[in-house]
Structure 1
Amino acid sequence: MGLMTNLLNPKVAVLYLSLLPQFISPGKGDVLSQLLVLGTTQIAISLTVNAIIAVTAGSIAVFLAGRPLWLVIQRWMMGTVLTALALKMATDAQR
């Protein structure tokens, strides 16, 4: 589902159409091959980073699932953070 979301995301096309051409030098070879190399490099880096994030998140989830106290601490911490953000937004809106 994440792959399809990224493939259908128009921001990806904007990235490739606006950012990558800045790094293309027509005097250094075929423009299409340079675009393909840059695009492939960006995709490989993104895939690697996203895979590391997914594996790390899975490891953390397994760790937390085996320790109920950590789950309680996590819920309280997240609740505290969200409450603090809500209070900040409420006080900023009154100004």
Structure 2
Amino acid sequence: MRHTLPLRRTLTAVLTTTLLAGGVLLGQTAAAEPAAAARITCNIDKLRSDAHKERTRAAQLRGLGAMAEARKAAARADALERRAQQCHDAENNNRPPLWK
């Protein structure tokens, strides 16, 4: 009978720890805000106008002979255009939830 007492204590401790950890995780997930609740908005016209300004700046830099800076400005313009297109696609391809 003596050898079962430590085993019983160990199993009880492990079970208690598991239940507490599960309860903490369950409480955190229930209280967490869903990712879809955060609303992200972007101004497509402003992104496109900023991209146009960067392209103009890149052309001016290229004309002055500053090729490295021109490449950076062109890369920034490409990134802004890509972001504007992503926002445009997200607005047009967005489906409402089933319950609405």
Q: Normalization by structure 2: what TM-score? A: 0.34
Q: Larger relative contact order (C-alpha < 8 A, sep ≥ 6)?
A: 2
Q: Normalization by structure 1: what TM-score? A: 0.36
Q: Larger Rg: 1 or 2?
A: 2
